[in-house]
Amino acid sequence: MRGLPKLLFALLVVVLTIPTGVRADPAAVDQSFAAYKQALVEGDGEAASKLTAADTHAFLDETLERALTMEAAEVRALPLLDQISVLMLRHNMKPEQLRAMQKSDAVAYAVDQRAFDMDEVERLTAAPFSVNGDRAQAELSNLKGSPIPVSVHFKEEADGWKFDLLSSIAPFRAVFESQAGLFANLKTSDGKSGVVPLILHLISGRAPDANIWNPPG
């Protein structure tokens, strides 16, 4: 063998001798998704936390810190999706709940407290996962109220496949950024942006308090 055929043969040998556990396995991602969904439905915060990616934990911890400490001007300076994330916490949780959540594992606390629609989670189904290296994604079905198709993302870490919130919400971040000019025209009577309170109202069915921009006392 010479040249390209020899190279292809060598690559084939390498692939065939990789331990099976190293290869991307869609079934392993399916199992992690099923386990994550089961943890949410059963309110098992510890299990859900273990199945959550490290950078997702970091993002949630940062968002929680912002919800407890950021002043109005700082919140308004954040990207739109981050504003919504911060203010949604203030809108849905009492100050003492936010502080208790910060002192513990944020994912475990939220799941243990069942801070989401259990019936909606139970109805969610995912198409077969496509795997690319240490990343995997599948389109979700039966997701209520989403204006765009939504895919759930997982990433492979040292101890298995974990739910990847940051990749899962990336399409929403892109939509908000692309429509920033349009959203800027939605203002309240005091001339400030009104799009975030409107979105909170649409998601929760409740109008947010005018003081929501300020950190809890």
- Would you say residue 94 lies in a domain? yes
User: Do residues 171 and 185 lie in contact, with contact meaning Cβ atoms separated by under 8 Å?
Assistant: no
Q: Is residue 192 part of a domain?
A: no
What's the confidence (pLDDT) of residue 104? 92
> What is the pLDDT at residue 21?
44
Buried b (16+ CB within 10 A) or exposed e, 76-93: eebebbbbbbbbbbbbbb
Determine the pLDDT at residue 186.
65
Per-residue pLDDT of the chain (217 residues; tens, 9 = 90+): 445 444 444 444 433 333 444 456 789 999 999 999 999 999 999 999 999 999 999 999 999 999 999 999 999 999 999 999 999 999 999 999 999 999 999 999 999 988 777 788 888 889 999 999 999 999 988 666 565 678 999 999 999 999 999 999 998 899 888 877 676 666 665 656 688 888 889 888 999 998 999 999 7
Q: Is residue 189 part of a domain?
A: no
Q: What pLDDT was estimated at residue 13?
A: 42
pLDDT at 167: 95
Tally of domains within the chain: 1
> What is the predicted pLDDT for the residue at 41?
93
- pLDDT at position 50 is 98
- Parent domain of 28: 24-168
pLDDT of amino acid 18: 38
Classify residue 5: in a domain, yes or no: no
Judge whether 92 lies within some domain.
Answer: yes
The reply to whether 7 falls in a domain is: no
Say if 113 falls within a structural domain: yes
Q: Distance between CA 30 and CA 12 in Å, rounded?
A: 27
State the pLDDT at residue 189: 58
Alpha helices in the chain (DSSP H): 3-17, 26-42, 45-50, 54-69, 72-76, 80-92, 95-103, 106-112, 118-123, 165-178, 180-184, 195-204
> Which are the contacts of 157, defined by CB distance < 8 A and separation ≥ 6?
53, 54
